Amino acid sequence: MRRSTLTRTTAETDITVELNLDGTGSYDNETGVGFFDHMLDQLSRHSLIDIKVRAKGDLHIDDHHTVEDVGITLGQALAQALDDKRGIRRYGSCLLAMDDAQIRCALDLSARPFLIWNVDFPTSSIGTFDTELVREFFQALSTHGGITLHVDALHGFNSHHIAEAAFKSVARALREAVETDPRKADAIPSTKGAL
Ligand SMILES: [Mn+2]
């Protein structure tokens, strides 16, 4: 079964993530950061990966540790659920439009973390949410999920739309990459024989 449950506890955050790669996009995310919950819901809905996140973080300081550590734990849970990556498509991409925003994502579940992030936000916050944290989340997801992740904003003028389109674009690309390729369901998709 391509599922995982992972708990990560530090002095700053206490996080549990449950994933089912072969899900239906059902989600149940409570981090104490409303906008971030909305983004995690998008990640699940558009990747069709079932995601449940429970996070208790030091929000009296700010949202930073909570958002970053959810990225770390989600990345680790993803890597664990993918196991040896047998049968997956490995690569995914998406060009996604949302109103004014257009975001391009290309990713490789390579076990070689690398983030290319060309996304600028016209405002420093979305409500009370710091827009810098969007990059922090994807940096943590890339590093701990072993993902080569490229995200480029082609245009957009509304920060909420830009952030949401980024999550949706990554979700769509992730859906493709984690899917089983029926033509090669028994093999690890690398000429090296390992990923
Ligand atoms: Mn929205």
pLDDT digits (tens), the chain, 195 positions = 899 999 999 999 999 999 999 999 999 999 999 999 999 999 999 999 999 999 999 999 999 999 999 999 999 999 999 999 999 999 999 999 999 999 999 999 999 999 999 999 999 999 999 999 999 999 999 999 999 999 999 999 999 999 999 999 999 999 999 999 999 989 999 999 999
- pLDDT score of 103: 98
User: By the 8 A CB rule, do 85 and 189 touch?
Assistant: yes
* 3-class DSSP string for the chain: CCEEEEEEECCCEEEEEEEECCCCCCEEEECCCHHHHHHHHHHHHHHCCEEEEEEEECCCCCCHHHHHHHHHHHHHHHHHHHCCCCCECCEEEEEEEECCEEEEEEEECCCCCEEEEECCCCCCEECCEECHHHHHHHHHHHHHHCCEEEEEEEECCCHHHHHHHHHHHHHHHHHHHHCECHHHCCCCCCCCCCC
Give the distance (Å) from ligand 1 centre to CA of residue 164.
6
Give the distance (Å) from ligand 1 centre to CA of residue 165.
9
Question: What are the sequence ranges of the domains in the chain?
Answer: 3-178
Give the distance (Å) from ligand 1 centre to CA of residue 28.
16
- pLDDT score of 1: 85
Give the distance (Å) from ligand 1 centre to CA of residue 189.
35
The CATH code belonging to domain 3-178 is 3.30.230.40
Give the distance (Å) from ligand 1 centre to CA of residue 87.
34
Give the distance (Å) from ligand 1 centre to CA of residue 134.
14
Give the distance (Å) from ligand 1 centre to CA of residue 142.
23
Give the distance (Å) from ligand 1 centre to CA of residue 12.
28
Give the distance (Å) from ligand 1 centre to CA of residue 188.
37
Give the distance (Å) from ligand 1 centre to CA of residue 158.
11
Give the distance (Å) from ligand 1 centre to CA of residue 42.
9
User: By the 8 A CB rule, do 130 and 59 touch?
Assistant: no
- pLDDT score of 10: 98
Give the distance (Å) from ligand 1 centre to CA of residue 161.
7
